[in-house]
């Protein structure tokens, strides 16, 4: 370790670090534009200039390695004067139109202009005008006038996305960011340049000018696009999801997120196809009904079948809490022997950065909490064979459109009873006798387990009618409830959806079980008591970074519920 003094604070730091890294690790802010912890050092913005004792000139903190006994000053008169000069140069040709800029509220240049600039400019000539609304690719637009040439996007494309298509052309005040001829920024991680751009130069075509950052709530949650489980923030206005952005977690996704995760995992949550409540088939038609009637109908119909005639299919899209409560009711109250889930693997559609071939967020978690057959003879192939042969007459499906597969859809026509949990109308709900409208991952609390075995929290970012009646999750104070309902979720549309664990708990009660789960945390608590891999965990210990499962047990038997 090396002893380093920054602004009279003596620090013991790794001698391999640079000054800006050492400062950041100890909570000391050194302003910067071009430096990013996961990109190479460019040293071209000069905003991070600091005074190092015994050095004749100011040094850039991003490229100066620490040394034993080094004394650094970040707030001396020389540093402040240099910082003011850097800001003045950056603002000479930069448009001073923060009120209409899409980056307003989360712009480093705007923040630093207030914090480190002198507040006025001596430059009174005409600004240099450059191209606006330039299409760098299908998902990213560029306003060259706002670009400060920090080169973050260029380095990201080269070093992380491995698609070196961005470059600077021209010189001096006429420098322009552009793509090489006959190329475009169209890699599967292209939208990360929007986050790492410190100004409003790069914007997302999908989110551009939809909302101001201060008009939205931000919720820490997990991407449901694949088994990676990227940490992200879900941004909501008027109870509608507007964008998803990556949240730093070095153990999972670092600072990045793929474009598919950003764009394909939330539009269906806002979709008009979403179910507005439970459905029951009457006279050949699915009609809306109340929850009590739908649950009573499902319980009554299930009682008509003998043991062994009912099978169940869980879901790698549902939470651990949903799957655990589901398998518990299926096994304990209905004596279901055939229990499995459908995998969603797209062979070849993965890479060595983030994207996984398993396009579900919780396959490993579903298996861990008991959604798995006790033997191969009781798995999915046996379920489909039993339905085709007539030995299985009823099927209960949890949050999965299994009929999207034509072969499975043909098999399902042999059923006498099909009960489905779904978010929206799909091929499976159109064949069902009872449909329960289930909350999406954006509307409930719970946990997923990614392919690494890391348990991670999802949190409700938008509200349902159920949450208006009684907020799901932690016990909250009256003020927290008021703030959540009025500020965070806004006054947008509510759907009459419930978490699947709550639905199956109510069904279990209708079948004679004692209803014991009041919140998702109650379900998770029982999981930690009965599933060895989860032992010792709590919602609090899982936190915002996740927690690795304990070592897997040798015996892969279904969870005991007796």
Tens of pLDDT, residue by residue over 460-482, are 999 988 766 554 444 444 444 44
Q: Report which of 259, 319, 325, 359 is spatially closest to residue 459, judged by C-alpha positions.
A: 319
* First-last CA distance in the chain: 55
Angle at 138 between CA 134 and CA 142, to 5 degrees: 25
In this prediction, residue 14 carries a pLDDT of: 95
In this prediction, residue 470 carries a pLDDT of: 53
**At 394, which helix (H) or strand (E)?**
strand 394-398
Quote the DSSP letter at residue 306.
P
Q: Report which of 466, 478, 543, 450 is spatially closest to residue 505, judged by C-alpha positions.
A: 466
In this prediction, residue 476 carries a pLDDT of: 45
pLDDT at 99 over 50: yes
pLDDT at 508 over 90: yes
Give the pair of three-digit tokens for residue 74: 């970040």
Q: Where in the chain is the domain with CATH 3.30.70.20?
A: 98-107+118-269
Quote the DSSP letter at residue 438.
B
In angstroms, how far is CA 516 from the centroid of its own chain? Answer: 30
Strands 49-52 and 217-222: unpaired
In this prediction, residue 491 carries a pLDDT of: 61
**At 217, which helix (H) or strand (E)?**
strand 217-222
Mean pLDDT check: name the lowest of 79-83, 356-360, 426-430, 547-551. 547-551
In this prediction, residue 542 carries a pLDDT of: 96
In angstroms, how far is CA 37 from the centroid of its own chain? Answer: 21
**Three-state DSSP class for residue 525:** helix
Q: What's the mean pLDDT in 97-102? A: 91
In this prediction, residue 482 carries a pLDDT of: 44
Alpha-carbon span 37 to 28, nearest angstrom? 15
Q: Report which of 484, 444, 445 is spatially closest to residue 464, judged by C-alpha positions.
A: 444
Q: What's the mean pLDDT in 278-289? A: 95
Alpha-carbon span 279 to 287, nearest angstrom? 5
In this prediction, residue 465 carries a pLDDT of: 84
In this prediction, residue 552 carries a pLDDT of: 62
Query: Are 451 and 228 in contact, with CB atoms under 8 Å apart?
Result: yes
Q: Cβ contacts of residue 197 below 8 Å, gap of 6+?
A: 103, 150, 152, 153
Query: Are 274 and 236 in contact, with CB atoms under 8 Å apart?
Result: no
CATH dotted code for 98-107+118-269: 3.30.70.20
DSSP string, 53-74: TT-SS-EETTT-B--TTEEEES
In this prediction, residue 514 carries a pLDDT of: 82
Q: What is the largest CA-CA distance in the chain?
A: 89
Q: Where in the chain is the domain with CATH 3.10.20.740?
A: 2-75
Q: What's the mean pLDDT in 301-318? A: 96
**Three-state DSSP class for residue 546:** coil
| Domain made up of 2-75: CATH architecture | Roll (3.10)
Q: pTM, whole model, 2 decimals?
A: 0.92
Confidence of residue 561 (pLDDT cuts 50, 70, 90): very low
Confidence of residue 122 (pLDDT cuts 50, 70, 90): confident
Alpha-carbon span 132 to 237, nearest angstrom? 28
Alpha-carbon span 337 to 331, nearest angstrom? 7
Query: Are 185 and 166 in contact, with CB atoms under 8 Å apart?
Result: yes
Alpha-carbon span 337 to 310, nearest angstrom? 8
Alpha-carbon span 335 to 214, nearest angstrom? 51
Residue 542 phi, psi (nearest 5): -65, -40
Q: What is the mean pLDDT of the chain?
A: 92
Alpha-carbon span 67 to 146, nearest angstrom? 37
Q: What's the mean pLDDT in 90-110? A: 92
Helix, strand, coil shares, percent, the chain, to 5: 30, 20, 50
pLDDT at 221 over 70: yes
Query: Are 304 and 386 in contact, with CB atoms under 8 Å apart?
Result: no
In this prediction, residue 151 carries a pLDDT of: 97
Residue 389 has, within 13 A of its CA and on its CB side, a CA count of 9
Quote the DSSP letter at residue 487.
I
From the number of C-beta atoms within 10 Å of its C-beta (0-12, 13-18, 19+), residue 136 rates as buried
Alpha-carbon span 13 to 67, nearest angstrom? 9
**At 241, which helix (H) or strand (E)?**
strand 240-246
Alpha-carbon span 500 to 446, nearest angstrom? 11
Domain 279-548 has CATH 3.40.50.740: yes
Q: What's the mean pLDDT in 482-503? A: 72
Angle at 81 between CA 76 and CA 87, to 5 degrees: 125
Quote the DSSP letter at residue 133.
S
Tokens 């991070």 label which residue?
48
In this prediction, residue 478 carries a pLDDT of: 44
pLDDT tens digits, residue range 413-451?
999 999 999 999 999 999 999 999 999 999 999 999 999
Q: Where in the chain is the domain with CATH 3.40.50.740?
A: 279-548
CA distances from 94 to 36, 148, 179, 318, 554 (A): 22, 8, 21, 47, 62
Q: Other CB atoms closer than 10 Å to residue 475's CB: what's the count?
A: 9
């Amino acid at each position: 370790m090396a002893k380093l003094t920054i602004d009279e604070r003596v620090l013991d730091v790794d001698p391999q670090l640079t000054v800006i890294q050492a400062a950041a690790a100890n909570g000391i802010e050194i302003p910067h534009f071009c430096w990013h912890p996961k990109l190479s050092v460019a040293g071209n913005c000069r905003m991070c200039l600091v005074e190092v004792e015994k050095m004749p000139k100011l040094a850039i903190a991003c490229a100066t390695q620490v040394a034993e006994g080094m004394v650094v000053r970040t707030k001396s008169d020389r540093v402040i004067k240099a910082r003011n000069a850097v800001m003045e140069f950056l603002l000479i040709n930069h448009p001073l139109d923060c009120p209409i800029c899409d980056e307003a509220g989360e712009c480093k240049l705007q923040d630093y202009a207030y914090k480190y600039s002198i507040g006025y400019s001596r430059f009174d000539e005409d600004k240099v005008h450059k191209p606006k609304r330039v299409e760098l690719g299908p998902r990213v637009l560029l306003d060259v006038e706002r670009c400060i040439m920090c080169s973050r996007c260029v380095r990201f494309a080269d070093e992380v996305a491995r698609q070196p298509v961005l470059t600077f052309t021209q010189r001096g005040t006429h420098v322009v960011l552009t793509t090489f001829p006959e190329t475009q920024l169209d890699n599967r991680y292209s939208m990360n340049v929007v986050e790492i751009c410190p100004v409003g130069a790069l914007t997302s075509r999908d989110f551009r000018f939809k909302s101001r950052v201060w008009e939205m709530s931000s919720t820490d949650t997990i991407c449901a696009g694949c088994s990676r489980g990227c940490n992200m923030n879900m941004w909501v206005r008027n109870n509608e999801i507007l964008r998803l952005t990556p949240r730093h977690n070095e153990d999972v996704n670092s600072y990045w997120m793929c474009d598919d995760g950003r764009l394909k995992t939330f539009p269906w949550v806002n979709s008009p196809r979403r179910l507005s409540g439970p459905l029951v088939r009457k006279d050949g038609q699915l009609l809306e009904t109340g929850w009590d009637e739908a649950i009573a109908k499902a319980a009554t119909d299930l009682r008509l079948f003998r043991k062994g005639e009912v099978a169940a299919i869980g879901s790698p899209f549902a939470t651990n809490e949903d799957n655990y409560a589901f398998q518990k009711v299926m096994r304990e109250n209905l004596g279901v022997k055939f229990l499995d889930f459908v995998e969603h693997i797209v062979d070849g559609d993965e890479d060595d950065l983030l994207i996984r071939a398993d396009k579900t967020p919780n396959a490993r978690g579903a298996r861990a909490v008991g959604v798995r057959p006790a033997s191969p003879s009781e798995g999915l192939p046996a379920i489909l064979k039993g339905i085709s042969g007539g030995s299985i007459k009823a099927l209960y499906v949890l949050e999965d459109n299994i009929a999207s597969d034509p072969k499975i859809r043909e098999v399902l026509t042999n059923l006498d009873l099909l009960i489905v949990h779904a978010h929206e109308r799909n091929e499976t709900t159109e064949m069902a006798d009872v449909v329960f409208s289930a909350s999406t991952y954006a509307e409930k609390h719970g946990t997923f387990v990614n392919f690494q075995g890391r348990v991670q929290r999802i949190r409700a970012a938008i509200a349902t009618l159920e949450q208006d009646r009684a907020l799901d999750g932690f016990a909250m104070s009256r003020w927290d409830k008021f703030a959540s309902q009025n500020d965070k979720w806004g006054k947008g549309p509510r759907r009459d959806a419930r978490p699947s664990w709550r639905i199956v708990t109510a069904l279990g009660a209708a079948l004679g079980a004692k209803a014991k789960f009041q919140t998702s945390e109650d379900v998770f608590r029982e999981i930690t008591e009965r599933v060895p891999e989860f032992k010792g965990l709590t919602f609090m210990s899982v936190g915002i970074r996740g927690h690795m499962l304990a070592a897997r047990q040798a015996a892969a038997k279904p969870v005991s519920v007796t």
